[in-house]
Amino acid sequence: MAALEILKSVGREDLALVHIAQTAQNARIEFVESLQPPFDRDEKWVLIVSTLAGCPVKCPYCDANRQSGKKLSKEEILAQIDHMVYLRYPDGRVPAKKFKIQFARMGEPMLNPAIIKVLGELKERYDVHSLTPCISTIAPNTPISFRLFKKLLEIRHVVYADSDFQLQFSIHTTDKNTRRRLIPFPIWDFDEIAGYGARFYRDGFRKVTLNFALMEGVEVEPKAVRDRFDPAYFAIKLTPLNPTMNAQKNSLKSAIQPLINPRDWEIARALRSVGFEVVESVGELEENSIGSNCGQFVGEMESESTFS
């Protein structure tokens, strides 16, 4: 059996497609190809892949935790990328001016050693104009993660020394107790993230990103962010909380409404005032119904028994 069997693909060619697949071990995963209007595929193309079949972290706003989080092999991770690349470009040549591969769909990537092997092969696997890998992590504090973060530094400063590499830490709040509730897993504290981010950063390339999915009643204090993180190395990304099934079940609501002009976000102005570059990231509303940015389509489809 191939590394993956594609079960279903849903969405829109001009916005986002979610691909649902089954591994040889009968675990279901999903991965996404996404456009960001008004840019077409030749301008910017983003692939979002899974590193685990599910996730053991159990964040209350994420739907990936319906499965325990079996580690995908290097071949299973690369098979997701191969499917999307060769579906569009059979010769493996990706013309996009910005081609981003984001390890952020199902699972915490820094719990799977295969991620290092994948990153080591990506630059030579496809013929691309520009490749930007992106690791989105909660900064887990486990023995496996400790070794992976050490190796990730080597990958960044050796394999990707002359190219962009985006590292994102999911922070969500400046309150330590709330952060433990939102991320119920052993994780680094802010000082550990700040120290690692400074070592990861390369002058002239994009800064390490601190991600905040803004939620009602969840504190984000700009001064507290500035006290811990140096704007010379870190930028901020603000997003609404996506309407996942678990977010609704746990009464977690977005503090920002997508239809409100991001430039009107008071928190963005406050973070800029203390020296940070801030990106307000709001996807297309239709992506919520497609399922490409709001939790795990696998879980939703299984709960509706739509697979035969």
Cβ atoms of 280 and 265 closer than 8 Å: yes
Region of poorest pLDDT, from 113-117, 142-146, 247-251, 258-262: 258-262
> Do residues 184 and 57 make contact, with C-beta atoms less than 8 angstroms apart?
yes
Q: What number is the average pLDDT over the span 258-275?
A: 80
Average pLDDT in the 10-26 region?
A: 88
Residues of 170-206 as b/e, b for ≥16 C-beta within 10 angstroms?
bbbbbeeebbeebbebebbebeebbebbeebbeeeee
| pLDDT at site 129 | 82
What average pLDDT score do residues 49-58 get? 92
Mean pLDDT of the region 169-189 = 96
Residue 12's identity, in one-letter code, is R
What's the rounded Cα separation, in Å, for the pair 20 and 31?
7
Q: Band of the pLDDT at 295, cuts 50, 70, 90?
A: very low
Q: Is the pLDDT of residue 153 over 90?
A: yes
Contact predicate 212/171, CB 8 Å: yes
Whether 99 has a pLDDT exceeding 60, the answer reads yes
Hey, what are 138's tokens?
């909660």
Q: Name the pLDDT band for 284 (thresholds 50, 70, 90).
A: low
Quote the pLDDT of residue 281.
83
How would residue 116 be classed by pLDDT, with cut points 50, 70 and 90?
A: very high
- Is residue 251 left, alpha or beta, with left meaning phi > 0 and alpha meaning psi from -120 to 50? left
pLDDT level of residue 140 (50, 70, 90 thresholds): very high
Return the minimum-mean-pLDDT range out of 206-210, 257-261, 283-287: 283-287
Which of 134, 133, 137, 80 has the alpha carbon at shortest distance from 108? 137
Q: Provide the pLDDT for residue 2.
A: 67
Give me the mean pLDDT over the 36-42 stretch: 86
pLDDT at 55 over 60: yes
Looking at the chain, which runs of residues are DSSP E strands? 4-12, 16-23, 28-34, 44-49, 52-54, 68-71, 93-94, 98-103, 127-128, 131-137, 166-170, 208-214, 234-240, 278-280
Residues, the chain, total?
308
Q: Label residue 9 exposed, middle or buried (CB < 10 Å: 0-12, 13-18, 19+).
A: middle
Q: Give residue 308's pLDDT band: very low, low, confident or very high (50, 70, 90).
A: very low
Residue 270 tokens read as: 């406050």
| CATH 1.10.10.10 matches 4-302 | no
The stretch 191-204 carries a mean pLDDT of 97
Strand, coil or helix: 215: strand
Number of H helices, E strands in the chain: 10, 14
Mean per-residue pLDDT over the chain, rounded: 88
187: Cβ contacts below 8 Å, ≥ 6 apart: 138, 139, 140, 141, 179
